[in-house]
């Protein structure tokens, strides 16, 4: 991914779901072979604290998502430090003054990009992991006529109360740092990031991952070393206000909270006409399979494929060969 040209699209006077009007930059990668009728487009949005640089694990000339066969667009989610975010915006909306950006705002911006820059009206596939999966579900619902196939890996159509509370806990952990100063910090509140990461460490992987000592396969002797060498500094390269803004985006997520569906959650799910595969990890602690099962009651052309992984939420990241193969089989079933 690092060898591809990152481009940016300026959204002038873009009206957010909140009603606030701002100008935003949407940064993206676009590569592969676009066919004549533009029917081979794959949209692959990013996840929490991730950028286009982490998206390569599903893209390969030996995988179903092959740049030789498809035109792939990877939009960076707002607030991730690449597209418009608290850390890189003009002073009037910088830091804690940055407005709430919703999943729908991200999707509407992506739709504008596709139309204005590429004159693309439809998507062969929209796929994402975690918050990328949330964007995939919003796309398939809000722009149902534009999406042929959709895969959401470890994602929800609506943030549950349980996940909301978990996120509120990590938000409180980061902002407990004395350096925080209500977002007006002079130096990054890294002690708060460490506290936040230590809370997150117990959730990101499932109990099986720890029980089976999978961390040894990743090069860590024990759980303490995992915390010390991985989690203690994992968010140091991210801006604190960016991290918090993405949490608020996640907490607010509900594909029915918009002008089209007026908070009718069943209606928003029923609108999904794309051939759909929902792929939770079997022991994902904040995107459990049971929630996707409930959502599928209202998706007429959808199926559940639980990733039989010990990696918890990271099942959707293809961390093991078995997980990656499972995901690629599902993609192949839809687009091959």
Catalytic residue list: 130, 284, 313
Please tell me whether residue 5 adopts helix, strand or coil conformation: coil
Please tell me whether residue 96 adopts helix, strand or coil conformation: helix
Q: Which of 240, 315, 319 is nearest to 49 (CA)?
A: 240
The strand pairing partners of 151, in sequence order, are: 127, 277
The CA distances from residue 292 to 156, 190, 287, in Å, are: 7, 35, 8
- In whole angstroms, what is the distance from residue 236 CA to residue 231 CA? 10
DSSP 291-321: HHHHHHTT-TTEEE--B--SSGGGGGGT-SH
Distance of CA 67 to the CA centre of its chain: 21
- In whole angstroms, what is the distance from residue 22 CA to residue 143 CA? 23
* Strands in 16-148 per DSSP E: 21-32, 41-43, 71-75, 125-129
């Amino acid at each position: 991914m690092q060898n591809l040209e990152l481009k940016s699209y300026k959204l002038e006077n873009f009206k957010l779901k909140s009603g606030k009007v701002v100008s935003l930059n949407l940064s993206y990668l676009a590569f592969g072979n676009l066919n004549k009728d533009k029917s081979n487009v794959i949209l692959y949005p990013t996840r929490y604290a991730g950028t286009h640089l982490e998206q390569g694990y599903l893209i390969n000339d030996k995988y179903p998502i092959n740049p030789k066969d498809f035109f792939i667009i990877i939009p960076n989610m707002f607030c991730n430090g690449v597209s418009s975010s608290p850390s890189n915006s003009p002073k009037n909306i910088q830091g804690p003054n940055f407005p709430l950006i919703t999943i729908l705002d991200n999707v509407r911006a992506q739709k504008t990009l596709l139309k204005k820059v590429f004159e693309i009206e439809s998507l062969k596939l929209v796929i994402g992991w975690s918050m990328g999966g949330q964007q995939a579900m919003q796309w398939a619902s809000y722009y149902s006529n534009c999406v042929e196939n959709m895969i959401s890996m470890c994602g929800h159509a609506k943030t549950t109360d349980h996940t909301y509370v978990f996120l509120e806990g990590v938000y409180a952990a980061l902002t407990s740092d004395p350096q925080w100063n209500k977002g007006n910090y002079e130096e990054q509140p890294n002690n708060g990031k460490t506290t936040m990461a230590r809370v997150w460490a117990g959730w990101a992987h499932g109990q099986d991952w720890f029980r089976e000592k999978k961390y040894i396969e990743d090069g860590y002797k024990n759980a303490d070393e995992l915390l010390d060498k991985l989690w203690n500094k994992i968010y140091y390269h991210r801006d604190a206000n960016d991290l918090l803004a993405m949490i608020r985006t996640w907490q607010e997520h509900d594909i029915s909270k918009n002008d089209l569906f007026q908070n009718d959650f069943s209606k928003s799910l029923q609108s999904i006409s794309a051939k759909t595969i929902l792929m939770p990890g079997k022991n994902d602690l904040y995107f459990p399979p049971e929630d996707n099962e409930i959502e599928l009651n209202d998706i007429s052309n959808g199926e559940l494929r639980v990733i039989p992984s010990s990696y918890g939420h990271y099942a959707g990241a293809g961390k093991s060969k078995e997980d990656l193969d499972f995901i690629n089989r599902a993609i192949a079933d839809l687009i091959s």
